[in-house]
């Protein structure tokens, strides 16, 4: 088989696998939004069938044979061509998939389903002991997975690679250490600044129908295309890029929690704008696929925080907020509002944390995960290790495990290696935004006038359209001229909170 034919067949097969995954995405979205309650066990069977068929397509010997026929050929000699990128990334997916014995894949699916159930109960009852045996099983399987996949330096790398291709624990450890060294004193200074936000501004009565209107208008304003997407309700907000012309956002509202609904929408819209910005021509191939969870998260954080929690943004949107919620926030000044939505405080729960303390929550999890996978930490000892580290980072000890090591779903799902991508997202967001400010001198002025087109176009061109052309670290270098660093995020946080808290 000549290389060109092999390549074309490879792409056709891989595209079909992606198309099947996108069918699964519709069904998965429906499960979280509109499925009637009694449909859940049939839905589990549907999802399992699609996953099985997709896995069979990816691990088919056809893929391996065609990869072998293309690799080393003239067609992929220059590593930057479309063909080379697609072959490189299909190889990565194929390699990972065939390395995992199907017994392990099935066992992981089974155990993590049960573990999530056990986690939910244990968290509700604040009783880690009920979850401990499941964490033990999950960790054992993930260690087995790491061995099966293989790694150069650390078994944790094999897990990390699933979410952040090419990343290593070593490089993340280095940048996280520098980040923490700067964050800890910054958080200390803010907490001791003596300025306290008027927290009650955000817990006034914001009727949900108005929140929906305000949030959708903002998502549309920043560039999410509602003719190619939707916003629906879900218990756990997410974004699902179904395919060209179809991207689904979800959110949840609470009348007295403005932050949750609004910043949740901006966050998911940021993910959505990435998905909508992928090159439809390359749909179903790596060139038309998002790079990594870290880069994806950079896009959601950029819109949620760098833009959505900025003063220029609220110069445009505070008057709109006052119009949308008459009588609710008429008396609120821009200064008070800015401080309220940028309330920094040491607290127990990651998902409620502010921009400054958030990353300390992640670093703690990153360290514990590595210890679990290396075997240095026994799963049963997780609560003690958690609380000890929490005391060191936050000067607080969780009152119970529900507010400690039981708060997140990730480990029960087998998502070990996932957490660091949240902070990578924050780092990339700050670094990209610093570059965007250089490239777009009128950026703040644009935002002040609710003109988001230039920033969106810049992101489309620099980050979205290239797909998986470059791995995350290389993409960062290409876009910003610099390797990933903690400095842009620190500069951003120092300036922002320095002003807000008068440091």
Angle between helices 128-149 and 102-124 (to 10 degrees): 160
Rounded to a whole number of angstroms, the minimum distance from the CB of residue 42 to a second copy is: 4
**Residue 444 is a binding residue for a second copy (CB under 8 A):** no
**Residue 209 is a binding residue for a second copy (CB under 8 A):** no
Which token pair is 390? 């929490």
**Residue 279 is a binding residue for a second copy (CB under 8 A):** no
Rounded to a whole number of angstroms, the minimum distance from the CB of residue 278 to a second copy is: 12
Closest among 43, 77, 62, 79 to 1, alpha carbons compared: 62
Q: Give the span between the Cα atoms of 166 and 494, in whole angstroms.
A: 30
Put the strands of the sheet holding 229-233 in their side by side order.
229-233, 246-251, 239-243
Q: In the set 2, 16, 74, 330, which binds a second copy (CB under 8 A)?
A: 16
Q: Give the span between the Cα atoms of 16 and 98, in whole angstroms.
A: 18
**Residue 38 is a binding residue for a second copy (CB under 8 A):** yes
Question: Cβ closer to a second copy: 202 or 242?
Answer: 242
Q: In the set 120, 230, 320, 448, which binds a second copy (CB under 8 A)?
A: 230
Q: Is the dihedral of CA 18, 20, 26, 32 positive or negative?
A: negative
Q: In the set 50, 146, 179, 295, which binds a second copy (CB under 8 A)?
A: 50
Q: Respond yes or no: is residue 315 known to be catalytic.
A: no
Cα–Cα–Cα angle for 499, 502, 503, nearest 5°? 95
Rounded to a whole number of angstroms, the minimum distance from the CB of residue 13 to a second copy is: 12
Closest among 74, 333, 325, 126 to 215, alpha carbons compared: 325
**Residue 26 is a binding residue for a second copy (CB under 8 A):** yes
Burial of 141 (0-12, 13-18, 19+ CB in 10 A): buried
**Residue 102 is a binding residue for a second copy (CB under 8 A):** no
**Residue 242 is a binding residue for a second copy (CB under 8 A):** yes
Rounded to a whole number of angstroms, the minimum distance from the CB of residue 40 to a second copy is: 7
Q: In the set 98, 220, 228, 328, which binds a second copy (CB under 8 A)?
A: 228
Number of residues lying near a second copy (CB under 8 A): 37
Q: In the set 9, 13, 23, 99, which binds a second copy (CB under 8 A)?
A: 23
Question: Cβ closer to a second copy: 43 or 345?
Answer: 43
Q: What one-character DSSP code corresponds to residue 286?
A: G
Angle between helices 155-163 and 358-374 (to 10 degrees): 130
Q: In the set 155, 165, 229, 420, which binds a second copy (CB under 8 A)?
A: 229
Are 226 and 218 spatial neighbours (Cβ–Cβ below 8 Å)? no
Closest among 227, 264, 272, 267 to 248, alpha carbons compared: 272
Catalytic residue among 268, 275, 304, 355: 268
Q: In the set 1, 39, 150, 335, which binds a second copy (CB under 8 A)?
A: 39
DSSP secondary structure string for all residues of 151-181 = -SS-HHHHHHHHHSTT--HHHHHHHHHHHHH
**Residue 185 is a binding residue for a second copy (CB under 8 A):** no
Question: Cβ closer to a second copy: 47 or 332?
Answer: 47
Which token pair is 326? 């008459």
> Can you give the binding site for a second copy, defined by CB under 8 A?
16, 19-20, 22-24, 26-27, 30, 34-43, 45-46, 49-50, 53, 225-230, 232, 242-246, 283
| Residues catalogued as catalytic | 268
């Amino acid at each position: 088989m000549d290389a060109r034919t092999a390549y074309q067949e490879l792409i056709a097969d891989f595209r079909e696998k992606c198309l099947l995954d996108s069918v699964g995405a519709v069904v998965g979205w429906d499960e979280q939004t509109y499925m009637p309650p009694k449909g859940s066990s049939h839905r589990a069977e549907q999802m399992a069938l699609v996953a099985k068929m997709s896995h069979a397509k990816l691990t088919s010997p056809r893929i391996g044979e065609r990869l072998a026929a293309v690799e080393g050929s003239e067609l992929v000699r220059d590593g930057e061509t479309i063909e080379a990128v697609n072959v490189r990334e299909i190889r990565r997916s194929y390699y990972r998939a065939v390395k995992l014995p199907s017994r392990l894949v099935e066992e992981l699916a089974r155990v993590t389903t049960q573990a999530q159930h056990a986690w939910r109960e244990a968290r509700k009852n604040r009783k880690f002991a009920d979850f401990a045996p499941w964490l033990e099983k999950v960790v054992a399987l993930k260690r087995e997975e790491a061995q099966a996949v293989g790694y150069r330096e650390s078994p944790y790398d094999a897990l990390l690679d699933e979410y952040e291709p090419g990343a290593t624990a070593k490089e993340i450890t280095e940048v996280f250490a520098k980040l923490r060294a700067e964050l800890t004193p910054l958080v200390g200074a803010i907490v001791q600044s003596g300025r306290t936000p008027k927290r009650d501004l955000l817990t006034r009565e914001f009727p949900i129908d108005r929140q929906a209107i305000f949030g959708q208008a903002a998502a549309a304003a920043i560039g999410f295309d509602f003719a190619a997407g939707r916003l629906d309700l879900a218990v756990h907000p997410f974004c699902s890029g179904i395919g060209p012309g179809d991207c689904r956002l979800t959110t949840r509202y609470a009348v007295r929690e403005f932050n949750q609904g609004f910043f949740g929408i901006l966050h998911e819209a940021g993910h959505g704008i990435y998905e909508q910005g992928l090159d439809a021509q390359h749909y179903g191939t790596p060139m038309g696929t998002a790079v990594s969870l870290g880069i994806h998260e950079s896009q959601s954080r950029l819109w949620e925080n760098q833009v959505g929690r900025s003063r220029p943004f609220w110069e445009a949107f505070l008057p709109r907020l006052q119009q949308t919620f008459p009588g609710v926030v008429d008396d609120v000044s821009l200064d008070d509002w800015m401080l309220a939505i940028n309330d920094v405080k040491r607290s127990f729960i990651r998902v409620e944390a502010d921009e400054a303390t958030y990353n300390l929550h992640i670093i703690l999890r990153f360290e514990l995960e590595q210890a679990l996978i290396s075997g240095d930490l026994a799963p049963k000892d997780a609560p003690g290790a958690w609380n000890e580290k929490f005391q060191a980072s936050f000067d607080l000890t969780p009152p119970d495990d529900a507010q400690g090591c039981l708060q997140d779903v990730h480990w029960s799902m087998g998502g070990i290696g996932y957490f660091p991508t949240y902070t990578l997202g924050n780092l990339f967001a700050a670094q990209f935004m610093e570059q965007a400010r250089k490239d777009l001198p009128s950026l703040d002025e644009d935002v002040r006038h609710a003109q988001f087109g230039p920033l969106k176009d810049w992101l489309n061109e620099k980050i979205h359209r290239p797909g998986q052309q470059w791995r995350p670290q290389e993409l960062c270098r290409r876009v910003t001229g610099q390797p990933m660093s903690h400095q842009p995020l620190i500069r951003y946080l120092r300036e922002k909170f320095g002003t807000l808290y008068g440091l």
